[in-house]
Structure 1
C-alpha cells in the first residue's frame, strides 16, 4: 500500500506543469501554443526567455528530486529511482495538463540528484560538454543518455543501469520530431557554444 501511495504522489508531483503555469501566471502566455509546443524547459527558454526558463528548469528538476525522495520520507527500502519513475511519467503525461507534457530530461536529472548526487554532477558535466559542441539541447540530451547508461556499468549499480537504459529509449522516442529536424538541418540551436560567433 505504501509503495502505491509513493508512486501516486510521485506521479502527482511530476504532473505539475510548471512551464504552463509560469507562462500563464507571469507572462499571460500558454507556451503550448508557441515554439515546439512542448511544456518543458527548452521551449520555455525559447518562448519566454532566460528567467522563465531557469524557473521552469529548477521546478522540473525539483519535481524529480522530491518524487524520488519519497522513500526517505516514508522510511521505505524501495529504490528511489523506481519511485522517481512516477515523477517522470507525471511530467511526460501530466494529469493537470491533459496528459501532454515535456520530454522528461530535467525531471529525470532530478530523480538522479536524489539518488546519487556525485553521479548527477558527472552527468551534468557530460551534458554541458555535449551542449557546448553541438549547440542542440535535443542531440546533447540523447547522446548524454547513451554515454550515461554506459557509464553506469562501471559503478555496478544494476538498478540504475536498467532504468537509465529504459529512459534512454523512452526519451529518445520522445525526441522523434527533433531527430527529424536534426536530419533536415533545421533543429534549433542555443545562442552560445562552439563556433557560435562565426555564424
Structure 2
C-alpha cells in the first residue's frame, strides 16, 4: 500500500464514493435504453460486456466495457487529485467491489474484469498496459476470456513485485483474490474442458 497520508474519514469517504460509482450497472442500463432485453435472461445472466455481447449488439458491448472500466479509473483519478494515493487505492478496491456486489441489484453484479483494467490503467498506466498485453496474448492463444482474466490477475502482483511500483502490490494481490473468487464457476468449467470459447454462439461463462 502507498504511505498513509489520508485521515480515516477521508478514506471512508472515498471508499463510499468508489463503491457507489462502481455499483452503477452500466450493462443493465444500456441494455434497457437500447431495448436489448433483460440481461438476467440472456446467456450467463451476468451484467458485464461479455454477456451484453451475447445480445448481438457490439456497440452496446463496447460501451459497457468502456463504462465499466471508466468506473474504476474515475474514482482513482478523482481521489488522487482531491485526496492522496492511499485514498485512490481504497476507492479503487471499493469500486471493484461495487461492480461485483451492487446494492441496487441485490449484490448480484458482474465479475469485475473491465473495472479491474480501468483501475490498473489509472493507478499506473504502464502496469495497466502490461495487464492488457497479458490478457490479449492469453485470449488470442487460448480463446478463453475467463482464462485470460485469471492469468492476468494472477501475474500482475508478480509483475508489480519486480518493478518500482511496490505500493501497488497489496491492491493487485487483493484484486487477484477477488477475481479468482468471482470466477470459481469458470475455473471449474476450464478444469472439465467445457468452458465456452470467445466467439462461440452459445455461451455460459462470463468474464
2:51 is the alignment partner of 1:64: no
How far apart in 1 are the matches of 2:132 and 2:81?
26
1:76 aligns with: 84
Please list every run of 5 or more consecutive structure 2 residues that lacks an aligned counterpart in the other structure: 1-8, 201-207
Q: Pick one of 149, 152, 161 that aligns with 1:144.
A: 152
Count of aligned pairs = 192
Residues 151-166 of structure 1 mapped to structure 2, 5 A cutoff: 151-166=159-174
Instruction: After TM superposition, list the pairs within 5 Å mapping 1:65-104 onto structure 2.
Output: 65-104=73-112
Instruction: Tell me the residue number matched to 2:4.
Output: none
TM-score by length of 1: 0.90
Determine which structure has greater relative contact order: mean sequence separation of CA pairs < 8 Å that are 6+ residues apart, divided by chain length: 2
Residues 151-196 of structure 1: per-residue CA shift (max 9 Å, x gap): 111114333112211211211111111112212222111139xxxx
C-alpha distance in 1 between matches for 2:160 and 2:81: 26
The answer on whether the counterparts of 1:41 and 1:57 sit within 8 Å (CA) in structure 2 is: yes
User: Are the aligned partners of 2:113 and 2:179 in contact in 1 as well (CA < 8 Å)?
Assistant: yes
| CA–CA distance in structure 2, aligned partners of residues 16 and 55 of structure 1 | 14
Give CA-to-partner distance per residue, 1:3-51, whole Å, 9 cap, x none.
2221111111001000111111112411121111111121112234321
Partner of 1:195: none
Verify: 1:105 aligned to 2:118, yes or no.
no
Counterpart CA distance in 2 for 1:162 and 1:113 is 16
Distance 1:96 1:69 in 2: 25
Task: Output the aligned Cα RMSD.
Answer: 1.7
